[in-house]
Amino acid sequence: MSNSYFQRDRDWHPPALTPTYKTSVLRSPRHALLSLPTTLSEETGPVFGHDILGPLDNDLIRNFAKDGAEAIGQRIVVYGRVLDETNRPVPGALVEFWQANAGGRYRHKKESYLAALDPNFGGCGRAITDAEGRYEFRTVKPGAYPWPNGVNDWRPAHIHFSVFGNAFAQRLITQMYFEGDPMIWQCPIVMTIPDRAAVERLVAGLDRNATIPMDSLAYKFDIVLRGRRSTLFENRPEGN
């Protein structure tokens, strides 16, 4: 069976060199990437069992909070599916997420933004997709924050995502934005993505049907990983 993964569409992803996002200038290779079909080294990947998960791993409101307290901020549920490019669910995918608190401040020793830390908010969580590729977590909506790039650049509210599919070829890190946020279109990091339609794939929709009444808003965010060929026709030299 020939079942290599589809080649990444490098015109859809951001290019390596994006001078308006200044840090990319010295951190972008100048040579062309070497393009090759995937081999078993890329078609396999680590698998994480549900046994690594603790009960609060997908609850950022409570997983760092002390003594029954809760994180401060707009309560939201983020949910969605991990699919591949052939529109099939990716079960067993480890999804890791991290974010700033409701004021736009990260809990990190190198963070210098003046917004206050929330003693009850750590900012990390993780989930593993079920048989239909579904994941969900509860958190507070992160705040926007300023960052040193231009003199007055701000990141729109966002949540970072790291996803392991079933193969290392599917490894992906990306960010989720929130429907209706005008700051999305002013962000140099968002704008590294050349195609507006591609950016829109990272904007989670507000889902009124999934809100928890008197409790939390809900946002839906589907993630698509690389898909793979599946053909019965072999393409191998004689004798193999």
Partner 1 sequence: MVQRLDYLKESPSQTAGPYVHIGTNPNWVEITGVWKEDLGLVLVGPETQGERILIEGIVTDGAGAPVRDALIEIWQADAEGLHNSPAETRGRFDPNFVGWARQPVAEADGSFRFETVRPGQVPYPDGRMQAPHITVWIVARGINTGLHTRLYFADEAEANAKDPLLLRIPEPARRETLVARRSERDGMPVFTFDIRIQGANETVFLDM
Q: Which residues are catalytic?
A: 106, 145, 155, 158, 160
Going 204 to 208 to 209 to 213, the CA torsion angle's sign is positive
Q: Are 220 and 79 in contact (CB under 8 A)?
A: yes
151: which DSSP letter? Answer: T
Nearer to partner 1, 12 or 185 (CB): 12
Count residues binding partner 1 (CB under 8 A): 90
Under the binding rule (CB under 8 A), the answer on residue 206 touching partner 1 is: no
Question: Which residues within the stretch 42-81 sit at the binding site for partner 1 (CB under 8 A)?
Answer: 42-48, 52, 54, 56-57, 63-64
Whole-angstrom CA distances from 130 to 90, 113, 135, 153, 218 are 8, 37, 7, 38, 19
Under the binding rule (CB under 8 A), the answer on residue 130 touching partner 1 is: no
Least separation in angstroms between CB 19 and partner 1: 11
Question: Which residues within the stretch 4-43 sit at the binding site for partner 1 (CB under 8 A)?
Answer: 4, 7-10, 12-16, 18, 21, 23-31, 33-43
Least separation in angstroms between CB 187 and partner 1: 10
Using alpha carbons, select from 77, 180, 76, 58 the residue that is nearest to residue 130.
58
Under the binding rule (CB under 8 A), the answer on residue 141 touching partner 1 is: no
Nearer to partner 1, 39 or 74 (CB): 39
Least separation in angstroms between CB 182 and partner 1: 19
Nearer to partner 1, 171 or 220 (CB): 171
Whole-angstrom CA distances from 161 to 20, 59, 154, 172, 234 are 23, 15, 19, 8, 36
Strands 223-225 and 75-84: parallel
Question: Which residues within the stretch 98-127 sit at the binding site for partner 1 (CB under 8 A)?
Answer: 98, 106-111, 122-126
Q: Are 85 and 223 in contact (CB under 8 A)?
A: no
